[in-house]
Structure 1
């Protein structure tokens, strides 16, 4: 705010003169504090709303100037203070930039947590008092908080750079009008075998896949790339458009939630809705609506605990449009260094090699298929990064991806070579495929 106002109010007065507008800073949306303090009790001025009055053209010009001033400053505003042996940091970002930090299905923010070692919590929408700014809390050591700040700044700067390159095209796009959606397609009466309603990897030849969620090299989830990924993105957008409308959510609120139900749920770290399966229910003794529901996102492989009132009935059209896309896999030929448990360092390295947050395609070769718990399929796969040519340690160009003379990166071999895993006793020879 001080940067926009300028010393002695000089800059904001100049903006008003140049644009023929009146500008004020409204504290109505501040998170509050003590008397004479519009901050959070720790000296942090959490939010102030800029109000611009004038003609449509004049206010648009003033807004553009103010946004440019803000953009030239650091992407985030930070404040930290000591709490016992750790520190707590705050960052304030434009609400429009929160999605950049969270990333697709929450993978970017999880990567920032893993790399920095800090805990990051996004201010829930229900508690936001400022419609244009969002607060994030960061807990950790001073070094971890500083690393998290830097990673978030880099992510926002990268996304802003990409957005600026497309700004001219965006300005020509019409703004869609939001309205309730209706579904008139009659539901089919034929039952689905939900335990086996998943896409399948081709067991002959190879598959282009994205790694969408990782627990360890022994358990991770992939999605089919190419047209399959496009169909899923379109389905998610349609589900989101339908369930973002409050009238639609009210009309199809479930009367009860049971284990195994396929439902529609939001993802806490973005503005989208997804298909999920109820895997556990923690019932509240006081009220059913205060119960917590553990859900598995059937198209991505993530598992989260949500509030009962966040659960919605999934319309049959969205269920039958596309088989579930998250296929459970294990990496062929590797095991933990201690033969028991995967270290966090090994898991993090596997996430990096599999491009978890970058959605780069990998090549998956099915070695065998296992049945888990008597019904769930798990593919044991070779995972090859054709984006890398290990003979030159460079990115592979598209015309070299299928060149037999190019040595692509075998992720299992790389984990072994870097001492993040050891070869399994019964499969010591892992081929580069």
Structure 2
């Protein structure tokens, strides 16, 4: 056993007190540093070893947190590196309302410098406001673009959020509201970009109107349509646009099992501008969607007409089978069109005009072989039904004439169409005439005149 003198006890106590104090200081220092989390991007690049430490708490509006942190933490890293202070956001619920607290720790000089930099960021942040802009509904397609490409580009270029509220669409004749969120300067840029799209649409509509005025008006023979059923070639199983063989029909074109491509009725749009190009019965008709491809079709017809009225006359058919696509005029019309051979009867061909929906019998000597370059444009005729309507007994000649009058069939006047439902790839449409002072719902008008009843 060892005995420790009173003097020895004093020596040991003297050694133990500084050690204990040192350990206590180390634990308190570590505990103080652990109270604050590092920024998500990593530890501060500046380590401060000083007992003169200042802690500043600064309230940052929640909407400004992103600006203080910067992209991938770049701004807050730069503040730390340039001032030598540690800057961290205090942990709190991301779903809480109100401001966030930023903790600044360092020497008095470095902490104050970091605070000044953060306050400078907050003071120079642009004031975010919200503005609305009215646009006609017919221009939405051009503003949004294919798959939203145009509106995303305008949003990036102006650094704004551009929002189209579909729940406020309302009637087709009322303007659509576009909401823009950003600074005043950013909103000005966004509105100018949207206006450019509106100007493009108006220019396109002017060209389209001229093109429509130059089209031939073709009259129909109701009796022939009824007795010969020339315009119901959709029953032919080899006609892919009118069967369910298609893989997809929710885009601008339909790719089918043969080598040809057909235009499909646009989906995802409340209202679509169309021409009614052909009628089988008031409940069964064809439309063309008014758009860039309609103008391309006019150019194609002009090119084909010039060719086949001159050197194209030598494009004789070596042989022909059902299903072939040929070049043919339309009855007493010198314009040349693309047509599908539906049947062959000795020297007469039963033709379906794939861009219009018309049908006609034509002497085979008048039909020419179609050059491959004329097949690049998708076929434009879209088979449709009249939504929610059925004949009041049977469709009569008077009913046909009334429907032809209401739809301006083959007279190339715009109608508004809305797809209510689909049978396979065939849309059932509500047609609205907006050409007069008062809009006319053609479906309702056929019922009101007694030619049709509601199909419930």
Specify the TM-score bucket, using the shorter chain as the normaliser.
Answer: 0.3 to 0.5
More helix by share: 2
With the length of structure 1 as denominator, give the TM-score of the two structures: 0.46
**Higher radius of gyration, 1 or 2:** 2
With the length of structure 2 as denominator, give the TM-score of the two structures: 0.44
